[in-house]
């Protein structure tokens, strides 16, 4: 089995919902649609208080190249355009819609009929993906159209589909693969046409044997799509790690992943591309894993965007009495939230309810220079040194030692026997260093 070369850890998988099929979550009474559901500039609102919208109505237009359109996931009335607290507690602009029925825009094909043929050319495909607001929904939420338009001097050679799902607890991609394999394959074909490549690798970790077997069956007569069985190792779903694991090429420090000749797209994004191009359906819903050891009905739920996480937890059986922490995403890269009314968005892959007995950090003790964090870092960094540099305010050393290459996977903190909050310091320092680098680049212009 293949895997990446540097670092990595293998935390307990805790795939509690691995055998749970996708369940459609009921419509909420109100949704709150954030205008920043993607990397880049927030979308610009194009509706007003009192407007009536349908499912699929454009609510906000992309505001720049790195931005994305946002569409209504429900039908109803816009009640206000204000702000809402995101998962980190920051107030962000948002559109509030009261749900009234479930009326869809006529242009959206809601049938279950599989449409295989795509007659659009590459640019028309990219334009359609742009129009439908498709972003990377594995968690990064990078606008998909941007990834499909690499710099002219970087020609993609292969497409890699990220079906790894290495984050503990999360199984939304796994459930989607089992339910929508045919649609995903058509989505892959559309992506290949958009970037003009002749070969695709689908990387799936070995703990999903049913998905591996299904996709091998679906592609057994094809030479252009290859299923790659990968060793279970976190963070193999990281773009740079996956490229290394699948085609054996490493992304140089500061370089774009496409410099290796590969463009990576999440498996759920491939499905969203199918729906956008073949069904004229914007990205208005996604599968969310709602899980935790104390939940009575953990599962993989198809939820409309803007649904409060508290309501999804209710669908999964309600908030357990022993809840100590709620994490948006998985336990390694997800972030705890103090606001249970935070609305879901395009990047909400999971809601993890952690019992109080597991929710507290250990008290940190002095670093013993064991170098376990160095061995675990998949980017070849020195986390103990970077965290120390940030703690004492020496950002010059942090920059010199490539703190900006950190992918914030948490392997360093996970492996530290002294329970040092390494990632906390590094994440803080990375933001400061990158701000300095941007300011320096601006001054040179």
What percent of the chain has a predicted confidence (pLDDT) above 90?
94
* Pairing verdict, β 44-45 and 58-61: antiparallel
CB-based contact 249:243 (threshold 8 Å):
yes
Q: What is the pLDDT of residue 382?
A: 97
Arithmetic mean of pLDDT, 376-390: 97
Sheet holding 44-45, edge to edge: 44-45, 58-61, 70-71
For the stretch 59-83, pLDDT in tens is: 999 999 999 999 999 999 999 999 9
Structure tokens at 410: 């948490």
The per-residue pLDDT for range 161-174, each reduced to its tens digit, is: 999 999 999 999 99
Strand pairing report for 22-24 and 299-304: parallel
Q: Are 24 and 250 in contact (CB under 8 A)?
A: no
pLDDT per residue over 161-210, tens digit each?
Answer: 999 999 999 999 999 999 999 999 999 999 999 999 999 999 999 999 99
Average pLDDT of the residues in 334-363: 93
- Mean pLDDT over all residues of the chain? 96
Q: How confident is the model at residue 347 (pLDDT cuts 50, 70, 90)?
A: very high
Reported as a pLDDT band with limits 50, 70 and 90, residue 445 is low
Digit-coded pLDDT (tens) for 101-145: 999 999 999 999 999 999 999 999 999 999 999 999 987 899 999
d(CA 296, CA 288): 16
CA dist 152 and 157 (Å) reads 13
Structure tokens at 59: 């609510």
Confidence (pTM):
0.96
Q: Is the pLDDT of residue 444 over 80?
A: no
Query: What string of H, E and C letters represents the secondary structure of the chain?
Result: CECCCCCCECCCCCCCCCCCCEEECCCCCEEEEECCCCCCCCCEECCCCCCEECECCEEEECCCCCCCCEECCCCEEEEEEEEEECCCCCEEEEEEEEECCCCECCCCCCCCCCCCCCCCCHHHHHHHHHHCCCECCCCCCCEHHHHCCCCCCCCCCEEEEECCCCCCCCCHHHHHHHHCHHHHHHHHHHHHHHHCCCCEEEEEECCCHHHHHHHHHHCCCCCCEEEEEECCCECCCCHHHHHHHHHCCCCCCCCCHHHHCEEEEEHHHHHHHHHHHHHCCCCCEEEEEEECCCCCCCEEEEEECCCEHHHHHHHCCCCCCCEEEEEECCCCCCEEECCCCCECCCCCCEEEEEEHHHCCCCCCCCCCCCCHHHHHCCCCCCHHHHHHHHHCCCHHHHHHCCHHHCCCCCHHHHHCCCCCCHHHHHHHHHHHHHHHHHHHHHHHC
Give the pLDDT confidence of 32-44 residue by residue, as tens digits: 999 999 999 999 9
């Amino acid at each position: 089995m293949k895997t990446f070369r540097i670092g990595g850890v293998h935390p307990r998988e805790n795939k509690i919902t691995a055998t749970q099929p996708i369940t459609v979550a009921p419509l909420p009474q109100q949704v709150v649609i954030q205008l920043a559901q993607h990397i880049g500039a927030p979308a610009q609102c194009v509706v007003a208080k009192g407007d009536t919208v349908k499912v699929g109505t454009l609510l906000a237009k992309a505001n720049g190249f790195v931005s994305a359109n946002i569409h209504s996931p429900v039908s109803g009335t816009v009640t206000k355009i204000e702000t809402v607290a995101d998962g980190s507690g920051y107030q962000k602009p948002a559109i509030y819609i009261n749900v009234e029925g479930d009326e869809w825009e006529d242009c959206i094909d809601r049938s279950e009929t599989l449409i295989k043929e795509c007659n659009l050319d590459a640019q028309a495909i990219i334009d359609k993906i742009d129009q439908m607001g498709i972003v990377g929904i594995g968690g990064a939420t990078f606008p998909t159209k941007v990834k499909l338009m690499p710099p002219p001097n970087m020609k993609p050679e292969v497409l890699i589909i990220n079906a790894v799902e290495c984050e503990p607890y999360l199984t939304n991609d796994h459930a989607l693969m089992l339910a929508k394999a045919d649609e995903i394959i058509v989505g892959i074909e559309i992506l290949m046409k958009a970037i003009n490549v002749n070969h695709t690798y689908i990387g799936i970790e070995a703990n999903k044997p049913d998905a591996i077997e299904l996709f091998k069956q679906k592609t057994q007569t094809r030479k252009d799509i290859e299923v790659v069985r990968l060793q279970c190792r976190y963070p193999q779903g990281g773009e740079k790690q996956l490229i290394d694991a699948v085609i054996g090429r490493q992304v140089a420090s500061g370089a774009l992943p496409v410099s290796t000749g590969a463009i990576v797209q999440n498996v759920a994004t491939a499905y969203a591309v199918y729906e956008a191009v073949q069904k004229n359906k914007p990205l208005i819903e996604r599968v969310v894993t709602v899980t935790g050891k104390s939940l009575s009905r953990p599962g993989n739920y198809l939820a409309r965007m803007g649904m409060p996480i508290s309501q999804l937890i209710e669908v999964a059986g309600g908030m357990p009495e022993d809840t100590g922490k709620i994490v948006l995403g998985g336990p390694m890269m997800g972030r705890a939230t103090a606001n249970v009314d935070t609305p879901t968005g395009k990047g909400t892959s999971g809601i993890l309810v952690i019992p109080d007995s597991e929710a507290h950090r250990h008290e940190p003790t002095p670093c013993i220079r064991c170098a376990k964090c160095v061995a675990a870092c998949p980017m070849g960094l020195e986390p103990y040194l970077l965290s120390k540099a940030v703690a004492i305010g020496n950002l010059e050393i942090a920059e010199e030692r490539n703190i900006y290459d950190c992918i914030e996977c948490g392997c360093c903190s996970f492996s530290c026997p002294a329970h040092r909050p390494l990632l906390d310091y590094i994440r803080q320092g990375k933001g400061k260093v990158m701000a300095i680098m941007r300011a320096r680049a601006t001054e040179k212009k």
